[in-house]
Copies of this chain bind each other. A is one copy, B any other.
Amino acid sequence: MTSSKSNSPTIRDVARKAGVSVATISRFLNNPSLVSADTAETVRSAMNALNYVPLVVARNLATHKTNALGLMLTEIQGDFFTPMLKGIESVASAENYDLLISTSRKTGSRIAPPLGKHNTDGIMVFLDSLSVEELKKLHESDLPIVLIHQTPPDSLSIPCVTIENKSASQRLVTHLIEVHHRRHIGFLRGPENNEDSYWREMGYQQALNNHHIPLSEGLIGIGCYDRSTARKSTTLMIEAHPEMDAIFCGDDESAIGVLIALRDAGKKVPEDISVVGFDDELLTPYLTPPLTTVRAPTEEVGKTAASKLIQLIRTGATDLLTLLPTQLVIRRSCGCTEAPVSLI
């Protein structure tokens, strides 16, 4: 016989059964050291007998916490998503936070935004899933926020965790120059305003500069992190610049389009032209030839973002910028001839 209408026992039922006050039950739940050993034992068995589970929403209302972390993204897709979420979930659950996921597509005209102070203790914002205005508004509401793969807009100082793009790109392009003696190296940009792409381009420029190779606008192609744009851009570039002997793709998806365009144009990779990418997507070892690229530590990004957010929630502060290291993955599309790698 419980006192509530629903079949779940409440803290009151446990208190009655244990012969103590609800305050004591609450203390036992939140800070067992506050109750005597005897009482603790009584409470424990009463809880077991009733199969009691505290109702989190009641606790949340009383404490003004939600114990939930939010993750905001534009779309659930792509190779990065699974490892990133895996990283986030692992630290969230280790720290006893629920994880709330939301996609920013349809922020239509609902009264409450999908994620905010009302249902979350803090949120992670992936790429530009939120407009600057929305971000500003949330930030001004004092909601703890951590940005992922995107630095904050001008005036806002919001912590950000992302990856090291420039130096890896520079090393990769340097590899093309020094090891494979490429001099006419193209670059395929990512979408407009994409920061990863920006820094990858900076690394590319730096490598060329260091080797006194002049930049050529004609060797910079438009990309969108997608295959078909890359394919078209590549076709145009090789027509205009037949001397091009390497292409650094802003990402692996583009690299796939590039490989196809080159095949169609009768160019051999890597004999005639080197192709390298960025991201190390799962399928890159299976491409023909296997793609030389840069591995981004995406799961680590997820973990770090969640950790920083929790730190921000708990202490009110955390590092403003965390740059996670990336790593060259040399396969064959650059011109190297490794022993065949086992894919298992």
Interface residue ranges, A against B (CB under 8 Å):
6-8, 29, 53-58, 60-61, 64, 66, 68, 75-78, 81-82, 85-86, 89-90, 93-94, 96, 98-103, 105-106, 110-114, 116-119, 141-142, 227-228, 231, 256-257, 260, 282-283, 286-288, 342-344
Measured CB to CB, the closest approach of chain B to A32, in angstroms, equals 11
Q: A101-B89, A102-B93, A286-B287 are in contact. Are A116 and B53 (CB under 8 A)?
A: yes
CA distance in complex: A283, B53 (Å): 44
Contact indicator A57/B61 (Cβ below 8 Å): yes
Q: A78-B82, A111-B29 are in contact. Are A260 and B58 (CB under 8 A)?
A: no
Contact indicator B227/A343 (Cβ below 8 Å): yes
CA distance in complex: A93, B74 (Å): 13
Contact indicator A119/B82 (Cβ below 8 Å): no
Q: A89-B101, A101-B89, A260-B342 are in contact. Are A66 and B77 (CB under 8 A)?
A: no
A99 contacts which of B89, B101, B260, B282 (Cβ < 8 Å)? Answer: B101
Measured CB to CB, the closest approach of chain B to A6, in angstroms, equals 6
Measured CB to CB, the closest approach of chain B to A238, in angstroms, equals 17
Residues from chain B with a CB closer than 8 A to the CB of A82 are 76-78, 81-82
A260 contacts which of B102, B288, B344 (Cβ < 8 Å)? Answer: B344
Measured CB to CB, the closest approach of chain B to A292, in angstroms, equals 16
Measured CB to CB, the closest approach of chain B to A16, in angstroms, equals 19
CA distance in complex: A54, B110 (Å): 12
CA distance in complex: A287, B142 (Å): 50
Measured CB to CB, the closest approach of chain B to A81, in angstroms, equals 5
